[in-house]
Amino acid sequence: MSTLFTIFTRAHQLRSDDSGAELVEFALTSGLLLALLLGSLEVSRALYAGHTVSSLARETSRYAMLRGSSAGSVACAGPAAANCQATAQSVAAFAVSRTTLQSDAAKLQVTATWLSVTATGAACAAHAPGCLVRVQVSYPFRFLFSFLPSATLPLTGSSTVTIQR
Q: 154: pLDDT confidence band, cut at 50, 70 and 90?
A: very high
Statement: the pTM of the whole predicted model exceeds 0.85: no
The residues that bridge with 140 in the sheet, in sequence order, are: 154
Give pLDDT tens digits for 21-67. 788 888 889 989 998 898 888 889 899 999 999 999 999 999 999 88
Distance separating alpha carbons of residues 62 and 67, to the nearest angstrom = 9
**Statement: residue 149 has pLDDT above 90:** no
- Give residues with Cβ within 8 angstroms of 119, minimum separation 6: 132, 162
Give pLDDT tens digits for 77-95. 777 777 788 888 989 999 9
CA-wise closest residue to 100 among 151, 51, 161, 63: 51
Distance separating alpha carbons of residues 44 and 3, to the nearest angstrom = 63
Distance separating alpha carbons of residues 163 and 85, to the nearest angstrom = 11
